Amino acid sequence: MTGQNTGAYKHVQGLSRGLAILRALNRAEGNWASIRELSEATGLHRTTVRRLLETLQAEGLVRRSPSDDSYRLTLEVRALSEGFTDDEWISQVASPVLGELLQKVVWPSDLTTLDGLTMRIRETTHRFSPLSFHRAMVRRCLPLLTTAAGRAYLAFCPDAEREDLLDRLEETFGGLPESTGGRRALVTMLEKCRAAGYASNLGEWETEQKFVALAVPVLRGRKVAGCINIVMLKQAISIEQAKRQHLATLQNAARKIERHLNDSDGHPAAAPA
């Protein structure tokens, strides 16, 4: 029950055993089980199981049914996972895929998810790419209208969601930027991105004009779970060269993440192979 201790501190066996009880209850039919069943599931002595259950009950994580003396998880257990959002576990799934993508394209990539009216970077390979001019990118927000990631989200999200986002952008910023050519021209551009299967920017982001980027959506059903991009130096590669050399690889990475997301029930069972 005690996995290998690789840290600098002594392994806390009691904590491991308590977690084993919670996992066994989570796997049990109906999320309830008797002391005997938990003992068999965890390999722990019944006296140990009873002591752990009493502690977990005192902490409000399990409750005992007086009718059959079984133990069940409480809603307090769910509260423990509230800080672990879909965005967080999507980034966990995407992290090894971005690592593989870096090995193939060398240029840095980001996984972004929608955060209000921006795209927030959840995972990135900027730190590891020899071609990156940035290092601290995680949690940075990217604008929707002038970045490849933002345009990819707007292009591939459901039409009703896109219209709502554009309405909110207009209301928040007093209209769309002149560079978009107006709402009709913007929607036309987004439809072309959807038909082409990717979005790009050519340096339109005012604070990052030296860079171009390609981005594709990561779909979960009909919704966009996030977007992944490749960021490149404009002087080193044209967008046409980038498409020829890297677009298919980028799209394959997105499909790999999608397969894992669509096979999952809402929790990361394992990193994609």
**pLDDT tens readout for residues 34-71:** 999 999 999 999 999 999 999 999 998 998 876 677 89
The predicted model gives 76-102 an average pLDDT of: 78
Confidence band, pLDDT 50/70/90 cuts, at residue 181: confident
Going by pLDDT thresholds of 50, 70 and 90, the confidence category of residue 262 is confident
Give the model's pLDDT for residue 5: 53
* Of the ranges 167-171, 172-176, 189-193, 258-262, the best mean pLDDT one: 189-193
Averaged pLDDT for residues 211-230: 95
Please, which pLDDT band fits residue 73 given cuts at 50, 70 and 90? confident
- Look at strands 141-143 and 211-220 and give their pairing: unpaired
Separation CA 91–CA 97 (nearest Å): 10
Over residues 73-77, mean pLDDT: 78
Question: Quick one: tokens of 171?
Answer: 């209301």
The answer, yes or no, to whether residue 142 has pLDDT greater than 60, is: yes
Mean residue pLDDT across the chain: 87
CB count, 10 Å around CB of 177?
Answer: 15
What pLDDT score was predicted for residue 264? 62
pLDDT of residue 78: 65
**113: nearest Cα among 260, 215, 36, 255:** 215
Span 13-80: which CATH code? 1.10.10.10
Handedness of CA 186, 188, 189, 191 (dihedral sign): positive
In angstroms, the CA 247 to CA 101 distance is 11
At residue 231, does pLDDT exceed 60?
yes
% of the chain surpassing 70 pLDDT:
87
Show the tokens assigned to 262: 């669509």
Domain ranges of the chain: 13-80, 86-263
- Extract the runs of DSSP E, i.e. beta strands, from the chain: 32-33, 62-64, 71-73, 109-115, 118-124, 141-143, 199-201, 211-220, 223-233
Q: Residue 190, Cβ neighbours under 10 Å: how many?
A: 21
Q: Residue 7's pLDDT is what?
A: 57
Residue range 171-176: mean pLDDT, rounded = 88
Per-residue pLDDT band for 155 (boundaries 50, 70, 90) equals very high
Architecture of the domain defined by 86-263: 2-Layer Sandwich (3.30)
- Segment 223-249 shows an average pLDDT of 96
Q: Is the pLDDT of residue 180 over 90?
A: no
Whether 148 contacts 229, CB under 8 Å: yes
Sorting pLDDT into bands at 50, 70 and 90, what band is 72? confident
> Does residue 268 surpass a pLDDT of 50?
no
Cα separation of 228 and 156, whole Å? 13
d(CA 230, CA 216) in angstroms, rounded, equals 9
The more confident residue out of 273 and 101 is: 101
Domain 13-80 and domain 86-263, same fold? Reply is: no
Contact 155, 149 (CB under 8 A): no
pLDDT given at position 70: 87
